[in-house]
Chain A
Amino acid sequence: MFQIRVHGRGGQGVVTAAEMLSVAAFEEGRHAQAFPSFGSERTGAPVVAFCRISDKEIRLREPIMEPDAIIIQDPTLLHQIDVFAGLKPDGYVLLNSHHSIEALGLAELVHGRQAERFCTLPATELGLKHIGRPIPNVPLLAGFAALSGIIHLESVILAINERFSGKIAAGNIAAATEAYEQVQQQMKELANAKAD
């Protein structure tokens, strides 16, 4: 079972992200379970949502305390809560920021882990560019697909089309596609740097 925790703030589509991730996994024939952290959600308040993906029926209902991957939709949360709590040693982190992991002062977090599993993506900018709104959730889902390979971009696009229609769907698909390519590019550069 692969477990993902999504952190963000009320209004950024945190719960929607976990739900769409579960839809994408379902489209690939897998079992998936998404659920919010059940807080009284207010705009701007820290929000957490969870997604489990498995090849078997998922019966577990506890919150995800030891995630395989963490998606952070708002980098200002880094100063407020321990978003990385419980991350597995071989876990993935995708963070919404136009700064690099190192520039954000997170080098220590990566130390002793697989550096190619840590990535940042300017998802708010991609949301603004393609959808006209600073909503980072869909670009991050596509970025997560590129980073982890747990789901395919095509499945993210299916999930977008299930949730949105018309111009909003088209904008989200464009944002997702660019996000996917950006993360793939970053990973290629990292692999090349390693090879050198």
Chain B
Amino acid sequence: MLKQTEGSKAVAEAIALCRPEVICAYPISPQTHIVEALGEIVKSGELTPCEFINVESEFAAMSVAIGASAAGARSYTATASQGLLFMAEAVYNASGLGLPIVMTVANRAIGAPINIWNDHSDSLSQRDSGWMQLFAETNQEAVDLHIQAFRLAEELSMPIMVCMDGFILTHAFERVDIPEQAQVDAYLPPFEPRQVLDPAAPVSIGAMVGPEAFMEVRYLAHAKQMQAIERIPQLAAEFKEIFGRDSGGLLRSYCTEGADTIIIAMGSVLGTIKDTVDEMRAEGHKIGVLGIISYRPFPLEQVKAALINCRRFVVLEKSLAVGMGGIVATDVRMAVTGTGLKGYTAIAGLGGRPITKASLHKLFREAEAETLPPVTFLDLDWIAVDKQLAREKHTRRSGPVAENILHDKGIVSAKFG
């Protein structure tokens, strides 16, 4: 049913349609509305059998999800930012054990400095955890990806994070088509676990594994994700047959035909990028967009094929590998090794800094002219940066960086970003 609703609420309804049997979560902004809504749905009795477990921390949330999944229950949780870091050890255990948990990450920056706003630092910090990571561009896609995620996770017996931009999507009211229960039931069969703690057929899960077998277990986790590269487009095609719309897949090209310059990004910023590209196309610029939906597994071949006919690309990412540069950009550059394509990295939107069309126009034109440095920080306030650097040069006890910058900037309540 077509609705005008909040992203978090839409996702909660989609999760309920997937008939999870255990939902456990600890509230953290900007994920809170999702689990609040799910709590209400479970309490109302609409979703049975399902147990909603209030836990005392994110570590407990993931631990409960692990236990529930090992006992054969379809299990769901959601978190963000510091919450994801707090559960990190259990995150690795869930994937290491091959338990098909689905978790929403309402993407938010990681402190310090403490910041509740959106960027992709949190889920990208778990890049190598063995979880698959799918990024939603809109709230419709967030809904659809969760349904596809349960199917893929359970088929491969591996966990998936569905990543949606905190606040920008979770708190946005927009048009979402909430599927019918019959559609979801037709797409998502009941959970048939590969391994289950069953008193009738006892097994142990979580054995100590020494050098004789550890590499094989790890390799098999990698092999599962390589299988996912094949399955993700197939599952998106099956999804379209039942639900009638394109959602998911590994990646999505937009206006890339004949494009000399291609902009690569993940998540909701793709919308603003597409609007900018439309305006530039109307002015005759040969520019296109490549949205990456599946960050893990990373579709190296498909990214290469999508870029092969352009001259240059810009990876615009809401993440920073401190001491190195881009995180997504590293993977994209790996994909185009040997092609001679010119690549640029633009770090943007950290800690919720708005990414505006005006700034993108300027950035994309500089990329076309090939005047961009290899790594750019979009809308970085160089005056503030230089002032702090000068302070550090002149004074040994220059004080805390964040407080200094805040002091220099003064009151910003007049800004609307």
- B330, CB-defined interface residue at 8 Å: no
Q: Are A85 and B416 in contact (CB under 8 A)?
A: yes
Give the distance in Å from the alpha carbon of A27 to the alpha carbon of B171 in the complex: 20
Q: Is A34 an interface residue (CB 8 A)?
A: yes
Q: Which of B116, B175, B272 contacts A60 (CB 8 A)?
A: B272
Q: Tell me which residues across on chain B come within 8 A of A32, comparing CB atoms.
A: 4, 173-175
Contact between A36 and B171, CB atoms less than 8 A apart:
yes
- Contact status A37-B174, CB under 8 Å: no
Cβ–Cβ contact A63 & B174, under 8 A:
no
Cβ 8 A contact of A65, one of B4, B118, B268, B356 = B356
Query: Does A58 count as interface, using CB distance less than 8 angstroms?
Result: yes
Q: Please report which residues of chain B, range 43-95, place their CB below 8 angstroms from some CB of chain A when the two chains form the complex.
A: none
B268 — which chain A residues lie within 8 A by C-beta? 61
**Counting chain B CB atoms within 10 Å of each CB, which of A22, A58, A59 scores highest?**
A59
A23 part of interface (Cβ distance < 8 Å): yes
B285 within 8 A of A: no
Closest to A19 in B: B173
What residues on B are CB-neighbors of A45 within 8 Å?
Answer: 413
Q: Which residue of A lies closest to B273 (CB)?
A: A59
Interface residue A33 (Cβ < 8 Å from any Cβ of B): yes
Given contacts A48-B416, A59-B272, contact A40 B116 (CB under 8 A): yes
Q: Is the CB of B174 within 8 A of A33?
A: yes
The reply to whether B416 and A63 contact each other, CB–CB distance below 8 Å, is yes
Q: Does B274 contact A (CB under 8 A)?
A: yes
- Tell whether B100 is near chain A: CB-to-CB under 8 Å: no
* Cβ of B214 to closest chain A Cβ, rounded Å: 43
Q: Of B6, B167, B414, B417, which contacts A81 at CB under 8 A?
A: B414
Q: How far is the CA of A27 from the CA of B2 in the complex (A)?
A: 11
From A5, A27, A31, give the contact of B416 (CB < 8 A): A5
Q: Mark A15-39, 1 if CB is under 8 A from B, else 0.
A: 0001100110111000111111110
- B355 contacts the other chain (Cβ, under 8 Å)? yes
Report the bound CA distance from A8 to B331 in whole Å: 44
Chain B residues near A62: list those with CB within 8 A: 272, 354-357
Number of contacting residues on B, CB 8 A?
Answer: 29
Contact flag A38-B117 (CB < 8 Å), given A5-B416, A59-B272: yes
CA distance A63 to B272 in the complex (A): 11
B interface footprint on A106-138 (CB within 8 Å = 1, 0 otherwise): 000000000000000000000000000000000
Contact of B354 (CB < 8 Å), options: A25, A34, A63, A80: A63
B111 to chain A: closest CB distance in Å? Answer: 13
Chain B neighbourhood of A33, CB < 8 A: 172-174
Q: Could you say which residues of chain A place their CB within 8 Å of the CB of B6?
A: 19
Bin chain A's interface residue count: 20 to 34
Closest to B5 in A: A23
Interchain CB contact under 8 A, A58 and B272:
no
Q: How far is the CB of B363 from chain A (nearest CB, A)?
A: 14
B269 interface residue (CB < 8 Å to A): yes
In the assembled complex, the CB of A33 is this many whole angstroms from the nearest CB of chain B, namely 5
C-alpha spacing A31/B172, complex, angstroms: 13
Q: Which residues of B contact A35 (CB under 8 A)?
A: 167-168, 171-173
In the bound complex, CA of A48 to CA of B171 (Å): 13
Assuming A62-B356, A65-B356, A65-B416, is B4 touching A36 (CB within 8 A)?
no
Measured CB to CB, the nearest residue on chain B to A40 is B116
Contact with B along A57-83 (1 / 0, CB 8 A): 011111111000000000000001110
Nearest neighbor of B268 in chain A, beta-carbon distance? A61
- How distant is B139 from chain A, measured CB to nearest CB, in Å? 10
Q: Which residue of A lies closest to B355 (CB)?
A: A62
CB-based nearest A residue for B29: A40
Interface residues of B in 143-192 (CB under 8 A from A): 167-168, 171-175
Tell whether B374 is near chain A: CB-to-CB under 8 Å: no
Identify the closest chain A residue to B3 (Cβ): A26
A26 close to B4 (CB less than 8 A): yes
Please indicate the chain B residues that have their CB under 8 angstroms from the CB of A60 in the complex.
271-272, 275, 357
Q: A36-B167, A40-B116, A81-B413 are in contact. Are A22 and B354 (CB under 8 A)?
A: no
Residues of B260-279 whose CB lies within 8 A of A: 268-272, 274-275
Can you name the residue of chain B whose Cβ is closest to the Cβ of A62?
B356
Tell me, rounded to whole Å, the shortest Cβ–Cβ distance linking B256 to chain A.
17
Asked if B271 contacts A63 (CB within 8 A), the reply is: no
Distance of B325 from chain A, by nearest CB (Å): 24
CB distance from A167 to the nearest CB of B (A): 22
Q: How far is the CB of A191 from chain B (nearest CB, A)?
A: 33
Most buried by B among A22, A34, A38, A82: A38
B contact residues vs A (CB 8 Å cutoff): 4, 6, 116-118, 138, 167-168, 171-175, 268-272, 274-275, 352, 354-357, 413-414, 416-417
- Can you add 17 more A-B contacts, CB < 8 Å, to A38-B117, A58-B271, A59-B274? A22-B4, A22-B174, A23-B4, A31-B174, A32-B4, A33-B174, A35-B171, A36-B167, A37-B416, A38-B168, A38-B171, A38-B352, A58-B174, A59-B138, A59-B271, A63-B417, A81-B414
Write the residues of chain A forming the contact surface with B, with a CB cutoff of 8 angstroms. Answer: 5, 18-19, 22-23, 25-27, 31-38, 40, 45-46, 48, 58-65, 80-82, 85
Interface pairs A-B: 7 shortest CB-CB: A59-B271, A26-B4, A34-B173, A38-B167, A81-B414, A35-B172, A62-B356
Could you pull out 23 A-B pairs where Cβ atoms are within 8 angstroms? Answer: A5-B416, A18-B173, A22-B4, A33-B172, A33-B173, A33-B174, A34-B174, A35-B167, A35-B172, A35-B173, A38-B118, A46-B413, A48-B416, A58-B271, A59-B272, A59-B274, A61-B168, A61-B269, A61-B271, A61-B272, A62-B272, A81-B413, A85-B416
